[in-house]
Amino acid sequence: MTNIISMSSLTLGFQDIDKTKLDVVGGKGANLGELIKIEGIQVPDGFCISTEAFKRIIEETSSIKELLDQLSLLKVADRGKIGELSGEIRRVIEGITIPQDIHSAITYLLSKFGEKDAYAVRSSATAEDLPTASFAGQQDTYLNIIGKEAILKHISKCWASLFTERAVIYRLKNGFNHRKVHLAVVVQKMVFPQAAGILFTADPVTGNGKVLSIDASFGLGEAMVSGLVNADNYKVCNGKVIDKKISAKKVAIYPLKDGGTKEQEIETERQHRQALTDEQILQLERMGRKIEAHFGHPQDIEWCLVDDAFFIVQSRPITTLYPIPEANDQENHVYVSVGHQQMMTNAMKPLGLSFFLLTTRAPMRKAGGRLFVDVTQMLALPDSRRNLLNVMGGHDPLMKDALVTIVARGDFIKLSPDDKEEQRPGNSNKDTSSAGFQTEFENNPTIIADLIKRSQTSIAALKQNIQAKSGPDLFDFILEDLQELKKILFDPQSHRVIMAAMNASLWLNEKMKEWLGEKNAADTLSQSVPNNITSEMGLALLDVADAIRPYPAIIDYLQQVKDDNFLDELAKVSGGEETQEAIYAYLNKYGMRCAGEIDITKARWSEKPATLVPLILSNIKNFEPNASTRKFEQGRKEALKKEQTLLDRLAPLPDGEQKAEETKRVIDLIRNFIGYREYPKYGMVNRYFAYKQAILQEAEQLVQAKVIHQKEDIYYLTFEELREVVRTHKLDYQIIRKRKDEYKIYEKLTPPRVITSDGEIIAGAYKRENLPAGAIVGLAVSPGVIAGRARVILNMEDADLEDGDILVTSFTDPSWTPLFVSIKGLITEVGGLMTHGAVIAREYGLPAVVGVENATKLIKDGQRIRMNGTDGYVEIL
């Protein structure tokens, strides 16, 4: 039996619509209803056919239901089947006779608005034009449709367009359920413009919210949208046109008298004329700002110019902009990404963010599930600016270049009046000669042993004391212990050791280039140094492989492992106890590590030991027994040989004896101290895991008390919020739901290295010449030239490496180190000279190129490539 629905629930005039009607009229419809309410904004009149009508069509046609059942089982890869099923669904929808009550509701409104007028008929989906997903261009639009029958036919075509192949694939990729996305249809009076186009209230290329960008061409905007014609582009900022690109507009699309559209050539003398006058451009700017203020978010607006009046036919949020870190004032700010420095650019959950904020001393802001350091104050003073740029040069040269670009503008950062500092004697060339190291630092390896011992003693005490804590006391205890963690992380002596080793490396590279013409000498000398906890971790996993190698039954068993309980079952298999012992010993020392370990909410290896299984199997397959000792020894010999060669070559030079002596001192300093650089983070992650285990016990209590549904829900609360929930056993569950949705959005964003308070993303660039044609540029961090098969791996668990592969990934934090023993070279999208991947690559003697923009997209898995770790580029062979 047909549902009887009132006429008003089937069709709504724009004036009866606002943003609360999203489910009824879809994104486009809801936005038109809002636009019509803004004073001074003209919108062509019209109405919407609600999603109720669409649902009726779907629900009352059994063949569509069956086809949707089949469609829901498909994956993105099933292209052929998607094409077949979606084509069938469209044919069925277009063939259905529109039910009488829906037909009547539409024809009634058409007679009211003017049956003989021309209309645009557009799809409006409930999941499009949202702040989270644009779905732009997914469904269809039909222009200049005249006559009742033609309009009804095109309404059916709009309904069917929900199932074009590209719309189905878009939903599959973005995790939208086909049955949950409904379609309304917008029927809007046509306007016949002299010019039309799109207005972005924030520059879509740079993200700058103060710069408005307008595309304009003659005739209907379709010529531009469909790529038929190059549009003019105007950039406007604060009532001034700051940039214009006038394109040759050779064709335009115009409406035909009896319906439909035609392409028409534009007379030669008009082709290079501005589609809008400067006055009109500024008028559009004012309208754009008004619309943006109404929606509270940067907008992508479609406009038409008719007889000197602007009509707005659509407005939607710009979904591609990265959110701006929030400031407490109206001043200019510059923010740099923490993720690019910590080798973890993925989004973090709220609990992870708040722990990192409690650990750091830097002025940080959150945006898009990531952290950014506000470096405005540092850039304002010459000395601190110089230090910042030096540090950034080591972390990430693209970041440094972006900051230099901002400083060079001169007007964005207010410099402190004390610019005379620049001229002070001795300020510009800080003494990084080895004599400088000696006065500052006694080259004494026991310093490292003491620092490590202090950290270990402190962690042992924490693990002991935290067991007795629970409830709100636990949170007070953690806050206190975080002070201890900060003391260790920012210990001046620890910092001096790391800086001494880094400065020694820089000195050595500089002097060997000057004295011997030798590039990056320190890289080979950093191989197989003592006390590097991260590179030891990679070698220790080779020892685990050795312990398992004698037991074929265990190797078979491990190849079948699916879940994390495999360790309990091991005892039943021959060699199981020995395997358990080896894996548990490894986890005892390194089990608190994982990919993205600065986010406390990420699953650690101890919580998810199956992560290590593919790496262990790969070590068994790719290496002979005792490989860890051989690898370490080989690196040590290479370093010592390099040292001897340098000293021998220095001896015959003028002042050769003194130069050799000085160089020997610096090499000893590098080899004694450079390994320690990895230790403070290991200590931090150790503490994080102790906190996490204690907090998860509290979460268990909350689950039992039915305050939360599952333990992992606590990851969506900040530290303070969780403390309060533990104290009161009260929680508004909406918060968790909302944050889970936000996190899904944040996961898809790519964080910028540098962003300003205007939302402008500043991209740095490498300054390079004389590269081979087609070379992909990055930063050379570990020397050597090597060719091999590229393995593009985004998750460590998916690593299936053969000996001789080159690893290509977005970033590597310490947890990736066990993979480094199997590869011949490393390429990452993020990184600098002193970031983890680079340090470990040098220590293992692996050629490495980091900071290669879009490496995981430009290089395809399985391609043969040649990488040059000496000059910093990659070639696809």
Question: Please, which residues have CB within 8 angstroms of residue 854's CB and are 6 or more apart in sequence?
Answer: 829
As a whole number of angstroms, the distance between CA 302 and CA 202 comes to 14
Q: Residue 599's closest CA among 489, 699, 490, 712?
A: 712
| Closest among 243, 262, 265 to 254, alpha carbons compared | 262
Q: Which two tokens stand for residue 130?
A: 């949202």
Nearest to 223 by CA among 248, 253, 194: 253
d(CA 522, CA 666): 10
Beta-carbon count within 10 A of 510 CB: 14
Cα–Cα distances in Å, from 207 out to 90, 135, 306, 356, 431? 38, 20, 30, 27, 41
CA separation, residue 721 to residues 382, 385, 711, 845 (Å)? 40, 36, 15, 46
Which of 538, 817, 828, 840 has its CA nearest to residue 677? 840
Order across the sheet with 825-828: list the strands: 776-777, 873-876, 864-868, 785-792, 806-809, 825-828, 848-850, 779-782
- The neighbour count for residue 721, using CB atoms within 10 Å, is 16
Establish whether 836 is a catalytic residue.
yes
Look up residue 405 and give its two tokens: 């670009």
Judge whether 708 and 351 are in contact, CB under 8 Å: no
705, with CB counted inside 10 A (0-12, 13-18, 19+), is: exposed
> What does R_g of the chain's alpha carbons equal in angstroms?
32
Nearest 5°: the CA angle 631, 637, 639 is 105
Residue from 178, 182, 333, 836 carrying the catalytic annotation: 836
Task: Read off φ and ψ for residue 531, nearest 5 degrees.
Answer: 65, 25
Dist. CA 181–CA 133, nearest whole Å: 12
Token digits of residue 106: 């539409």
**What is the distance between the alpha carbons of residues 362 and 379, in angstroms, rounded to a whole number?**
14
Distance, CA of 455 to CA of 462 (rounded, Å): 11
Residues with a known catalytic role? 836
